Structure 1
């Protein structure tokens, strides 16, 4: 298992970054490594983001020095998403089979985590938790679906809310998935920020020769990251998080912070972006 620590970056400091520095601080270039658990420990709301690919046998996430606790989930909750073929995640309370695009919420203390499935690809999200909620599997069919946008504005998309107050309870993790329909490429535009929460994005189902331009930065000092399939982005509270792709794609969004109010955002008018 590999865990990399990323420090929180002040927006005034981020304004000075070149492309290489932006990518080093905010882009997770290879979360999915065959036969490994590969994680990033972020100082934005202590979120942990990464992947597990049990291609050669079971992988176990039991403890991590970065959490300062004997067990990984002793003071944390987690969300596991399978973006590959069917696999199994065993928690302290038992095994859970995840099909493609299913999400598993794992409550505080329900570790260790064992990942299995030769063709499974597990995306891992975790944040500190203050109370226990039961571990729960939410399938793509059980998620709440919200259709937004239109083909005329190139943002016809479906939002699937999994770990979300309208579906289930959690401490501070909120997670879901957005799919762009054919011919649409824009997500989350008009843009917004939410200074009370940090966020992470994983882009997938993107053709290998396609890219997403992930928009970030302060509204008056925007930047971008060029992201390819199965790469993730850490989104700080002060940053917008919008994007446009050279082809349609799907992304997993997750947030952690002061509340679980999905609509608690500060909108930014398109005319105010610079």
Structure 2
């Protein structure tokens, strides 16, 4: 497990491109036949990538967690960004198609990820500490709370699916969903915003190999950017704006943890205010 420590806004202007990427970018989320994990001190979240074969991979615990099993004191949301696969949670099998989501409640002891016949499934897991038990629940692609946002004239027409949220699949603090840009649109999450009560992480996916997303971050008067490829993730501290523009349309998993679950609890940063 890799550890990423918290960063204050005062540190950001001192970092070069390599420093920004070391602190905030997860370049190698998925490795064939492996489980990768990154522990972030931003709200104590853990970001995991699992790329199993047909024989499957178990979700391990890690020495850094000091727990008997991974979800002993945690909950997690999982989105499959690869081919169809299954997750077996304490003996119950959940089929997860591309873009589908599974919530894993606190106390789930055994979790196994398996790829289906179509090829490699790639499971993206976002975990946070939990104070209560909620039932493990699956949501099929597109069956969350669907919101149509943006406009084609501003290149940000997008479909947002809320899966784990205060009025949907219940959790302690994880909020999670998938946003898909329409063809011809490139901007996500416009206007950019912050939410001081929650951190957020993005995983960009369904992005062609020859395309990139320019992800904006930092304080609104001191912005920086990261150039990101397909299936890379970025950690966004609560003080940082987060938005991005791609050279092609794409999807992204957004996941949050922190003080509340109110999706619209955000402070917008108009594009004309960004420096």
Answer yes or no: same fold by TM over 0.5: yes
TM alignment of 1:84-99, pairs within 5 A? 84-92=82-90, 94-99=92-97
Tell me the equivalent position of 1:218.
Answer: 219
Rounded to whole Å, the distance in 1 between the matches of 2:35 and 2:254 is: 20
TM alignment of 1:134-173, pairs within 5 A? 134-173=135-174
Rounded to whole Å, the distance in 1 between the matches of 2:135 and 2:257 is: 18
**1:56 to partner: Cα distance:** 6.1
Rounded to whole Å, the distance in 2 between the matches of 1:200 and 1:209 is: 23
**1:141 to partner: Cα distance:** 3.4
C-alpha root-mean-square deviation of aligned residues, in Å?
Answer: 1.1
**1:235 to partner: Cα distance:** 0.6
Rounded to whole Å, the distance in 2 between the matches of 1:50 and 1:76 is: 13
**1:270 to partner: Cα distance:** 2.2
Tell me the equivalent position of 1:236.
Answer: 237
Tell me the equivalent position of 1:52.
Answer: 50
**1:248 to partner: Cα distance:** 0.4
Rounded to whole Å, the distance in 1 between the matches of 2:82 and 2:247 is: 23
Consecutive unaligned residues in structure 2, runs of 5 or more: none
Tell me if the contact between 1:93 and 1:110 (Cα under 8 Å) persists in the aligned partners: no
TM-score, normalised via structure 1 length: 0.97
Consecutive unaligned residues in structure 1, runs of 5 or more: none
TM-score, normalised via structure 2 length: 0.96
**1:111 to partner: Cα distance:** 2.3
TM alignment of 1:175-194, pairs within 5 A? 175-194=176-195
Tell me if the contact between 1:35 and 1:57 (Cα under 8 Å) persists in the aligned partners: no
**1:93 to partner: Cα distance:** 5.2
User: Counterpart of 1:32 in 2: which secondary structure?
Assistant: coil
Tell me if the contact between 2:142 and 2:161 (Cα under 8 Å) persists in the aligned partners: no
Query: Following superposition, which runs of at least 4 residues in structure 1 exceed 2 angstroms of deviation?
Result: none
Rounded to whole Å, the distance in 1 between the matches of 2:210 and 2:269 is: 31
Tell me the equivalent position of 1:65.
Answer: 63
